[in-house]
Amino acid sequence: MIKIRKIDHVAVAVNDIDEAVAKYRAVFGLEGVGREVVTSQKTEAVLLPIGDSNIELISPRGNDGLAKFLEKRGPGLHHIAIEVEGIESALALLKSLGVPLIDETPRNGARGHKVAFVHPKATGGVLVELVEPAEGH
C-alpha cells in the first residue's frame, strides 16, 4: 500500500503568474508565497496556502508540455498532487502493478520536494503528482 498523507496542492496552469495571483487575492483574499523558478521542471510556481494544502499556480519557463497545454486548453486545472511517505517505494509499487508513470524515479520539484508524475491514463484523464516533502519541511 502507498502511504498517502493528504492533498499537497492542486495545480492551475496560467499564462501570467502576476495576473493570476492578483485575481486569487481579489476574489479569495489568498496570498502567494514561495514564488520560484523550478529549474528541473522548467516552470515558474507560486503557492497560495489554504489550510494544510495549497493551490499552486504554474507557468511555463521552457516547459513545452505545459506551454502546449495552455495553448490547447487555455489556463485551468492542470494536476493534483498527493503527498506520500516513501516516494521511491510508492513508484516501485505502482510500476510493479503496471501503472503508467511519467517519472519512474523522483525529480526535484518546488520547495526542494521530491516529485514524480503518474500518467493521466492511469486515472482516466487526471494528471497526478506524487510529492514527498524535503527533510525538515
Q: Contact residues for Zn ion (CB under 5 A)? A: 11, 81, 129
In the bound state with Zn ion, the residue whose beta carbon lies nearer, of 94 and 115, is 115
In the bound state with Zn ion, the residue whose beta carbon lies nearer, of 41 and 94, is 41
CB of 80 to Zn ion, least distance (A): 8
CB of 92 to Zn ion, least distance (A): 21
How far apart CA 109 and CA 25 sit, in angstroms, is: 25
Q: Are strands 53-60 and 43-50 parallel, antiparallel or unpaired?
A: antiparallel
In the bound state with Zn ion, the residue whose beta carbon lies nearer, of 81 and 122, is 81
CB of 115 to Zn ion, least distance (A): 7
**E strand segments, the chain:** 3-13, 33-38, 43-50, 53-60, 76-85, 107-108, 114-118, 128-132
